[in-house]
Amino acid sequence: MALAYKAVSTLDSMIGHMDDRYRWFGWASARLDDVANFLPARITALLLVLSVGIVSRSWPTTQRALRILLRDGRQHPSPNSGRPEAAMAGALGVQLGGLNRYDGLPIERPCLGDPDQPLTRTHIGMALTLMLWASLSGNPLEHGMAPDGAEMTQPTHGGNVYKVAQEQRIPVERIMDFSASINPLGPPVAVLRAIRSALKQIAHYPDPDCWQLRQELAQQCGVDPDMILVGNGSTELIHLLPRALAIKSAPHYRSHV
pLDDT in tens, 119-135: 888 898 899 999 989 98
- Residue 66 pairs in a beta bridge with none
Angstrom distance (rounded) from CA 85 to CA 108: 16
Q: Do 91 and 14 share a domain, yes or no?
A: yes
**How far is residue 114's CA from residue 87's CA, in Å, rounded to a whole number?**
12
Q: Is residue 134 part of a domain?
A: yes
pTM for the whole thing? 0.57
232 inside domain? yes
> What pLDDT does residue 256 have?
43
Whether 230 is covered by a domain: the verdict is yes
Flag whether pLDDT at 58 surpasses 50. yes
What is the overall mean pLDDT for the chain?
Answer: 81
Give the pLDDT band of residue 150 (cuts 50, 70, 90).
Answer: low
Reply yes or no on whether the pLDDT at 38 is more than 80.
yes
The CA-CA-CA angle for residues 97, 119, 84, to 5°, reads 45
**Domain identity same for 28 and 90:** yes
| Structural domain that includes position 99 | 2-144
Give the pLDDT score at 201.
84
17 and 137 co-located in one domain: yes
Distance of CA 224 to the CA centre of its chain: 22
Q: Kindly indicate the confidence band of residue 112, based on its pLDDT and cuts at 50, 70 and 90.
A: very high
**Structural domain total, the chain:** 2
122 falls within a domain: yes
Q: Per the domain annotation, does 203 fall within a domain? A: yes
Q: How confident is the model at residue 253 (pLDDT cuts 50, 70, 90)?
A: very low
Count each helix (H run) and each strand (E run) in the chain, helices first.
10, 2
Q: Are residues 99 and 13 in the same domain?
A: yes
Distances from the Cα of 118 to the Cα of 58, 83, 95, 151, 244, angstroms:
20, 21, 8, 45, 20
Q: Which of 3-17, 27-41, 53-67, 97-111 has the lowest mean pLDDT?
A: 3-17
Q: Is 120 left (phi over 0), alpha (psi -120 to 50) or beta?
A: beta
Does 212 reside within a domain? yes
Contact 229, 237 (CB under 8 A): yes
Tell me: do 89 and 211 sit in the same domain: no
Is the pLDDT at 144 greater than 60, yes or no?
no
Whether 45 is in a domain gets the answer yes
Percent of the residues in the chain that have a pLDDT greater than 70, as a whole number: 78
